[in-house]
Amino acid sequence: MKKALITGITGQDGAYLTELLLDKGYEVHGIKRRSSLFNTDRIDHLYQDPHEDHPKLVLHYGDLSDSTNLIRIIQQVQPDEIYNLGAMSHVKVSFDTPEYTANADGIGTLRLLEAIRILGLEKKTRIYQASTSELYGLVQAVPQSETTPFYPRSPYAVAKLYAYWITVNYREAYGIYACNGILFNHESPLRGETFVTRKITRAVAKIAMGLQDKIYLGNLDAQRDWGHAKDYVEAMYLILQQETPEDFVIATGVTTHVRDFVSMAFAEVGITIEYKGQGVDEKGYVVSSSNSNFQVAAGTEVVAVDPKYFRPTEVELLIGDPTKSMTKLGWKPKYDLKGLVSEMVAADVDLFQREKLLKESGYKIKNQFE
Ligand code: NDP
Ligand code: GDR
């Protein structure tokens, strides 16, 4: 039985990858951070009582900023594969916490690679590094492929640039099976609530149900190549199963404006919106019509731009070229954007039904400190 160790197991990708590897018969070990609240929501359905004989999913406390902890866990687990998904992954937040981001996202990768060396596991343990389309940053050429030059535009992307190259360097210097997956944006109902897609689908559900009036967004002109996280974790697995270690772009090859994602999400609840703006200071979107299930009056402003969500330096256009992964890995996405948006909006509508029912029955959800 193969053993995998996943950093970032409590995140969106960690949850889908855990499910995939358990299905494939792996014993999965994950590193979770100590938190003052439970932080394992996304993997609770996969949880196994540690008192059982040979549980297939085992969680270890740890952090990418702590070498001693990483070395100890890797020594104990002796993994065949490490998936380094742990990161401070929010681009905008990285401008507020640049040093922490460099430590976790950049040096964290070095710590894992060094742990493999220190423990003499160069020939046993394969490692996947969660690299990102943010490396391309300021557009040099499109579509972006494995040979397109990088030009990172945020502390997050700069930290990930270090992680990318240290992974390549340890592969070349020490013969470690170490690979970068350069993944373009991928989303799902498990996506963190502050990334733009999930922020939009949650707001659309709440607005349609009368639980929220409006959503404030930043740059609506940005373009992203959005795929489904379920498809993308499959690619991570495939990258570590090849004969020789290489880096791969994982993308759909289709790009969409943030403003069009907004319209698509509203369309899922039967609301058509019209853009009234002439620029960031103008009015946002208003409803032009809505169906009978979700009543939002025509003319209501449901989307507005708030410059507080702008980034000091933005990545305007991402569109990936997945030719290499399609030909060498045989990878092909099963979801398209329409299916992804549909699934995300439906999941959020479901989520907020409960809140709506409570509100309708006059129940006020009280803050526990009131
Ligand atoms: P999430 O933000 O959902 O998850 C990040 C995970 O990293 C969480 O489990 C988080 O723990 C953990 N983490 C954060 N800081 C540390 C730390 N210091 N030590 C250990 N663990 C830490 O990200 P995704 O699942 O979306 O992404 C997975 C990886 O892929 C990330 O590295 C991201 O940068 C990268 N990536 C993501 C893309 C995407 O579109 N989703 C595209 C390309 C790359 P906690 O739950 O406690 O916060
Ligand atoms: P990104 O994802 O920065 O591409 O990084 P995000 O969803 O945060 O932003 C996508 C684009 O939407 C614009 N935008 C907004 N973004 C957020 N978060 N909130 C808003 O209100 C908003 N309004 C407009 C952004 O400016 C941006 O252009 C994600 C992360 O998962 C990274 O970890 C990963 O490496 C990359 O995808 C690939």
User: Which of 132, 167, 197, 255 is an active site residue?
Assistant: 132
194 lines ligand 1 (CB under 6 A): no
Q: What are phi and psi of 301, to 5 degrees?
A: -85, 115
Which whole number is the average pLDDT over 174-178? Answer: 98
Residue-wise pLDDT tens digits, 302-355: 999 999 999 999 999 999 999 999 999 999 999 999 999 999 999 999 999 888
Which whole number is the average pLDDT over 16-44? Answer: 97
Angle at 249 between CA 154 and CA 41, to 5 degrees: 70
Residue-wise pLDDT tens digits, 89-105: 999 999 999 999 999 99
219 lines ligand 2 (CB under 6 A): yes
The better pLDDT of the pair 260, 274 is held by 260
Q: Rounded to two decimals, what is the model's pTM?
A: 0.96
107 lines ligand 1 (CB under 6 A): no
pLDDT for 363 beyond 80? no
Q: DSSP string covering 13-28, please?
A: HHHHHHHHHHHTT-EE
Distance 195 CA to ligand 2 centre (A): 5
Neighbours of 242 (CB within 10 A): 14
Determine the atom of ligand 1 nearest the C-alpha atom of 84. Answer: 32
Q: Please report the pLDDT score of residue 54 as a whole number.
A: 87
Mean pLDDT of the chain, nearest integer: 94
Q: d(Cα 333, Cα 335) in Å, to the nearest integer?
A: 6
Tell me the domains of the chain and their CATH numbers: 3-183 (3.40.50.720), 196-222+257-315+337-360 (3.90.25.10)
Which whole number is the average pLDDT over 201-205? Answer: 97
324 lines ligand 2 (CB under 6 A): no
Known catalytic membership, residue 323 = no
Neighbours of 23 (CB within 10 A): 8
Question: Could you tell me the two tokens for 221?
Answer: 């002109």
Measuring from atom 3 of ligand 1, which residue has the nearest CA? Answer: 11
pLDDT for 106 beyond 60? yes
Known catalytic membership, residue 201 = no
Q: Please report the pLDDT score of residue 279 as a whole number.
A: 52
Q: How confident is the model at residue 47 (pLDDT cuts 50, 70, 90)?
A: confident
Known catalytic membership, residue 128 = no
Residue-wise pLDDT tens digits, 133-159: 999 999 999 999 999 999 999 999 999
Contact between 196 and 336 under an 8 Å Cβ cutoff? The reply is no
pLDDT for 115 beyond 90? yes
Which whole number is the average pLDDT over 217-226? Answer: 96
Instruction: Identify the nearest ligand to the CA of 311 by its number.
Output: 2
Distance 18 CA to ligand 1 centre (A): 14
Which ipTM was obtained for this model? 0.99
